[in-house]
Structure 1
């Protein structure tokens, strides 16, 4: 690995250990075995590096969202059963000790103090939604239109952000996938009665 990759891996470890606000450039350099100048050279700033490290950590969750090695079952893409299965897998990642999702809440609550990180992650939301759509509805990520990413994808991102907040704030009463799927069933039933 070169300095760029070493920095990214070091920043990921720092984020998981210290979070955004407490991670210093010197922490990243120590963890990565690189030097301070390489942060600016490869990423432009510590904030940009931390944001990229967080995105990389989230992208690494894809297998867990799909159910790990077992993958998604034979549930029909776009069905309520698939919806419940995928959200059950996602919620499973929130239940894990040391879950990386607490970092999302840190950005939400400290966004004014971490503007570069917040701005980078805000731009990444469309792609996050685009990535969730094939998991829940089938198809390929590269075939998801911008309009679908901006509507259905953002609905999924909003649901995920709310779940992260619930599971961070009060995991004992946070909803499970069964509750969310049942809530969606009731919304659909009410909408189709008219």
Structure 2
């Protein structure tokens, strides 16, 4: 691995250990066994490096509820079974004191103090919303329309953000995939009955 990759891996470890605010450039350098100049050369700033490290952590976790597993699951796209499956896998990534999802809450709470980081992650969140659509409804990410992104994708991201918040603040009472699926079923039935 070169310095760029070493920095990214070191930054990921620092994020899980210390979070965004408490991680310093010197922490990353120590963890990656590189030098301070490498951060500027390869990433431009510590905040950009941390943002890319966070995105890499999220992408690594999303592999547990995306891609090949989805294709082999046998659940019908758009079904409540698919919804349950995806959110079961999402929730399975929430536990543990070093869960990367607590970093999302740090961004929410401290985002105005980390504008470069927030702006970089805003783009990643849009791509996350785009990726949710085919995970639940089937199809390919490249086929997701802007309307689907702005409605369905953002709806799923809103659900996920709420789940993350509940898991960070009160994991014992955070919703399960069973509860969420039951709630969605009841909402759909009520909407159908309402006409």
Q: After superposition, where does 1:155-166 map in structure 2 within 5 Å?
A: 155-166=155-166
**d(CA) in 2 for partners of 1:118, 1:19:** 14
Post-superposition offset of 1:131: 1.2
Distance 1:153 1:16, change over 3 A: same
Post-superposition offset of 1:28: 0.7
TM-score (norm 2): 0.93
**d(CA) in 1 for partners of 2:44, 2:116:** 11
Native 8 Å contact 1:4 1:42 kept in 2: yes
Q: String of CA shifts for 1:87-106, please: whole Å, max 9, x gaps.
A: 01110111244211111111
**d(CA) in 2 for partners of 1:69, 1:152:** 21
Please, what is the CA RMSD of the aligned residues? Answer: 1.8
Note the residue ranges of structure 1 that are not aligned, 5 or more in a row.
Answer: none
Post-superposition offset of 1:69: 6.8
Matched pairs, number: 194
- Report what 2:179 is aligned to: 179
Post-superposition offset of 1:72: 5.1
**d(CA) in 2 for partners of 1:5, 1:141:** 27
Q: String of CA shifts for 1:27-64, please: whole Å, max 9, x gaps.
A: 11111121111111111110111001000100001222
Note the residue ranges of structure 2 that are not aligned, 5 or more in a row.
Answer: none
Q: String of CA shifts for 1:129-155, please: whole Å, max 9, x gaps.
A: 111112111111122122211211111
TM-score (norm 1): 0.93
Three-state SS of the structure 1 residue aligned to 2:27 is: helix
Is 1:151 matched with 2:147?
no
- Report what 1:20 is aligned to: 20
